[in-house]
Amino acid sequence: MHFKQLKTVREISDELNIPDWIILDLFKSQKVDKLSFPELTKRKRAIHFEKLYDLHFNKGMSLKKIYRDYGFSPPYIRKVFEEHGVEHKHFIN
């Protein structure tokens, strides 16, 4: 869940209804380092890039429309594009 679905320890804890320290102890016993929050979010943004690019550039959706329909906030979308060297289109809403 942590490495494949990129869920935080807290999200896993809530989903499985077990304390987060149990998950952390499991990682420690298996000598597995959990991903840092910045690394986790960076990987999520990399995964979202293709979808956001398609919605914005191929389907012509504005950042606000993407937010309304898919829940990705405009600042988040700009960050995703920035990390990939892409500048978003400036729509007049």
Greater model confidence, 1 or 54: 54
Q: How many domains does the chain have?
A: 2
Domain that holds residue 24: 1-34
What pLDDT, on a 0 to 100 scale, did the predictor assign at position 65?
Answer: 93
Buried b / exposed e across 67-78, counting CB within 10 Å, b at 16+? beeeebeeebbe
At 4-44, the pLDDT tens digits run: 778 888 888 899 999 989 889 988 898 888 888 888 888 88
Residues 44 and 81 in one domain: yes
Q: What is the mean pLDDT of residues 57-77?
A: 93
Residues 61 and 88 in one domain: yes
Residues 91 and 71 in one domain: yes
